[in-house]
């Protein structure tokens, strides 16, 4: 898929899609707003009005096991919230 990793399909994003015409995606961490806008327009055939991005940094995690204390970290990731212009809609369930 390139820049877009996967769409965020949650209850909160479904409500935002209905009310504000806004959709969420997990994207590559190096992608900027212009690249995200072009990727969404090309993949879904819609016109994008606005793009907001959020970087999430992985948390440190530890757990106790039989082998002792295991430590690690969750992955870093980036989310993009895309607002569509006009009456454009994205249907994530069309090919199920």
Tens of pLDDT, residue by residue over 55-89, are 999 999 999 999 999 999 999 999 999 999 988 99
- 4, burial (CB in 10 Å: exposed 0-12, middle 13-18, buried 19+): buried
- In this prediction the pTM is 0.86
Run of H or E residues at 62: strand 60-65
* Inter-residue contact 16 to 8 (CB < 8 Å): no
Run of H or E residues at 53: strand 48-56
What separation, in Å, do the N-terminal and C-terminal C-alpha atoms of the chain show? 18
- How far apart CA 84 and CA 63 sit, in angstroms, is 42
Set out the domains of the chain in order of their start, with CATH numbers.
Answer: 4-84 (3.30.70.330)
């Amino acid at each position: 898929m390139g820049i877009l990793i996967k769409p965020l399909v949650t209850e909160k994003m479904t409500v935002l899609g209905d009310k504000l015409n806004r959709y969420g995606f997990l994207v590559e961490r190096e992608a900027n707003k212009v690249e995200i806008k072009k990727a969404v327009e090309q993949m879904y055939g819609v016109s994008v009005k606005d793009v907001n991005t959020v970087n999430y940094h992985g948390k440190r995690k530890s757990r106790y096991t039989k082998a002792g204390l295991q430590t690690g970290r969750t992955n870093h990731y980036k989310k993009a919230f895309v607002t569509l212009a006009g009456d454009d809609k994205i249907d994530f369930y069309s090919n199920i």
